[in-house]
Structure 1
């Protein structure tokens, strides 16, 4: 795949397969009179730090008192009511160690967050915490190793120059769309001749291995368009010359199920052959298939819609080109654990998509003309681009002092719900319940940062024409006022 290929994901701000993976610390209020936590930070790498934190024993006392109250509510000691057992009695009963452990567990996360704030660190993952020193009535000392957001020296992003391909719309493009529209209104007529490309056949299929039918690999009465491909290798070749009532067996490879990739013998029986009859593209058809009165008006509308779609694709390509140009101007150190986690998540996502489409990885790579090594290298490049893009967009959002209002959050929630095929209210409830709203806010901020960069860029096509990029939404996607174009944009942006 080339540098601009975005077959599965891109480096857009919302392109992480699991957006919550890249999180940032939400600012907490000041310590309100408490002494600053005593801490030191050691930089292990540009993306990893080690905090050493010391907590005086007296600062554990509120948590220790709470722990004793918890114990007192749970134990039964003769002569004392629940919740009224004195601390000294609990100590004699051996509950001191438990109370100390509870106090430490309560204090650790609070002091960790205070130390992060004190040292200006933004964590990217859960820390590895180790208590290095703690004795009764003495200070608590612990260390915390954590991946952190790297420091980035933003390059100038005003007036970035990039180039994209020129929008090209041919009569053949329009003819293809008109033909597809005619096919939607086509009729099927049964014929007694042999099946040919473009015919629809009704068939029964059964795959056998070792003379036994493979479970889940048998269908009856299925309609199939001859020449369509994408089902079983060898099926179209087997159907050539078959008529209703004919049966044939051929060898193929399963593309799904437990035996995916294994060789089987497939028996196909044709029960009906139908010829597709397309309606004439005339004024009568235009009135049937659209709101237009004439075929010329309908064809012109197809031209306009295709042109808008092409311009949206060009705008999306321009957006990606600008971001890639910016990424090429700065070196950003990346946390390898974050890259590895995202790489694994994307790899699983690709495999799920292929399985859903009934393709094995081997078949996909064969169709794409790629080796597994080339695929892995390209996937890692795109993951690294995505992580770096999020870091740099976060910095731009901070520099531009961008914010998010309730209306923008609501619109983003609805869009994300639509993309996930979920009810907006159910999606919103899920996001609130699992504390993913800060992640969505961060997505919007990154989108706004991307919009600010792109709208200030100078993008031209190969012919030297300036590409219009003033219609970016708050989430960074390209939009136009018309509802149908906005819907098309969502698809274009996702495909990008």
Structure 2
């Protein structure tokens, strides 16, 4: 960017809004004006003149001197605006509204920019933040819970002749009819359904419970869907007559908890070895989870201690981002926002309000963390990028060079660096806050990461980043 002699002044017209007045000498517009004339000299045709050699006077007559000046200013304006913002030591958080006041030939260019700016931040005293860490120890109950999950995963379904109970699996033929015609999406042959899961028609679980194989059940169910599902052509709204043939009742048979089970699960000679392995794995996972929770608790405490009011522009952007992703998640689950709100006993307005409150909290947290990074000179070094590549390579089992090529493109590098900077700022706050019951003498998420296979990929990752 070419430096110009811009003259600036600014006034606050709102909590986070500034009106910037900028005056640019005529000479500073000259390079952009020359470029605009060169462009027009190549674009228009004038008999007797070669392309690119058309005098300015003729271009002015054909195109208009004002048009050329407007085009020149349009090209130069971003640089003028950026230089003026630097001169006033302002940071924009949204694109400006610009009004050109003066663009007369021979006079300085004058324009005004109304812009939302980053607010002034009074960072709370980090050392005064106090949170209590959740317990990080692994107890016998934790290990037993994991063993139960393993047994459930290796369980076999066994047909029984008794009545169906909650927790059983039933094999059914499900047919839904309306006005004597099959309803698309309301029927399924040989459907293996978990009784009590409540994933079928609302009355299905209650109708199945207590019946034996061979039973034929008939009932009418009222299906209610939101406007989003109706528009998408999902299961239609209204009453549907269901006929269900209960073909089989299956119950889970859990394997006995012994040495043979341990050998089935993995390369363990005994149940004690399996227990010890689970305890170690749970310890690593729990330490990581506790460290992440400490970071969240400390960040929440920092936000509560701050008097910062989030700029509405940033909150609007963050809210729209969160709402978009939330609606995408709901769409993948086959429901809309209206149906979700009804299922959780809320309203669309309340769900949106909650998302907006979360967006405002997030904006304050990010502004505070950025201020921490600025005050403490926290930066992202090449080693940080190398470790990030190494972690991702270890997590996905891909070559570090391949991950680096994907992660460190110009399009991705800024977001990767921002995520690293945020984590380092959080780590700083956690380190200097008063954390009661801090695990392992202040272990952090990064310490837990160093115990993963990512460390083995670090050297290769550093080489990939340097390349």
> For 1:265-304, what aligned pairs fall within 5 Å after superposition?
265=240, 266-304=242-280
Equivalent residue, structure 2, for 1:25: none
Change (3 A) 1:416 1:40: farther
Matches within 5 A, 1:97-246: 97-158=66-127, 160-167=129-136, 171-209=140-178, 211-240=180-209, 241-244=211-214, 246=216
How far, CA to CA, are the matches of 1:309 and 1:277 in structure 2? Answer: 29
Matched, 1:58 2:27: yes
1:406-485 map, 5 Å = 406-412=382-388, 429=406, 432=409, 435-461=411-437, 468-473=441-446, 479=449, 481-483=451-453
Partner of 1:7: none
Stretches of structure 2 that go unaligned for 5 or more consecutive residues are: 455-467
Distance 2:259 2:64 in 1: 90
Asked whether the equivalents of residues 47 and 334 of structure 1 are also in contact (C-alpha less than 8 Å), the reply is no
Residues 5-44 of structure 1 aligned to structure 2 (within 5 Å): 34-44=3-13
Alignment check: 8 A CA contact 1:203 1:270 kept? yes
State the Cα deviation string for residues 436-476 of structure 1 (Å, max 9, x = none): 53233222212111101102222125xxx767543233xxx
Q: 1:68: which partner in 2?
A: 37
CA distance in 2, matches of 1:283, 1:254: 51
The RMSD of aligned alpha carbons is 3.5
Q: Check conservation: 2:5, 2:28, Cα contact below 8 A.
A: no
TM-score by length of 2: 0.83
- Alignment length, in residue pairs? 447
For residues 165-224 of structure 1, give each alpha carbon's deviation from its aligned partner in whole angstroms, at most 9, with x where no partner exists. Answer: 445766554333222211222222334444333332333434445554444444333322
Question: Matched residues in 1 for 2:326 and 2:281: separation?
Answer: 31
Alignment CA distance shift 1:94-1:365 (3 Å): closer
Q: Shift of the alpha carbon at 1:260?
A: 6.5
For 1:115 and 1:63, how far apart are their aligned partners in 2?
Answer: 17
The 5 A counterparts of 1:371-390 are 372=348, 374-390=350-366
Q: Distance in 1 between matches of 2:269 and 2:343?
A: 43
2:218 alignment partner, one of 244, 248, 252: 248
Structure with more contact order per residue of length (Cα contacts < 8 Å, sep ≥ 6)? 1
Higher Rg: 2
Runs of 4 or more off by more than 6 Å in structure 1? 413-420
SS at match of 2:305: coil
Aligned equivalents of 1:127, 1:413: Cα separation in 2? 36
Aligned mates of 1:387, 1:413 — CA distance in 2: 27
SS of equivalent to 1:236: helix
What is the CA-CA distance between 1:37 and the residue it aligns to?
A: 1.4
Structure 1: how far apart are the matches of 2:297 and 2:112?
A: 43
* Range with bigger deviation, 67-76 or 129-138: 129-138
Structure 2 Cα separation of the partners of residues 216 and 409 of structure 1: 48
> C-alpha distance in 1, partners of 2:393/2:203?
40
Partners of 2:175 and 2:405 in 1: CA distance: 45
Corresponding residue for 2:464? none
Answer 1 or 2: which has greater helix percent. Answer: 2
SS of residue in 1 equivalent to 2:174: strand
Give 1:271 deviation, angstroms.
4.0
Aligned position for 1:342: 318
Structure 1: 5+ residue stretches without partners: 1-27, 485-496
Q: Could you say what secondary structure the match of 1:144 adopts?
A: strand
Q: Distance between the aligned counterparts of 2:440 and 2:435, measured in 1?
A: 6
> How far apart are 1:379 and its partner, in Å?
2.6
1:459–1:426: structure 2 CA closer, same or farther, 3 Å change rule?
closer
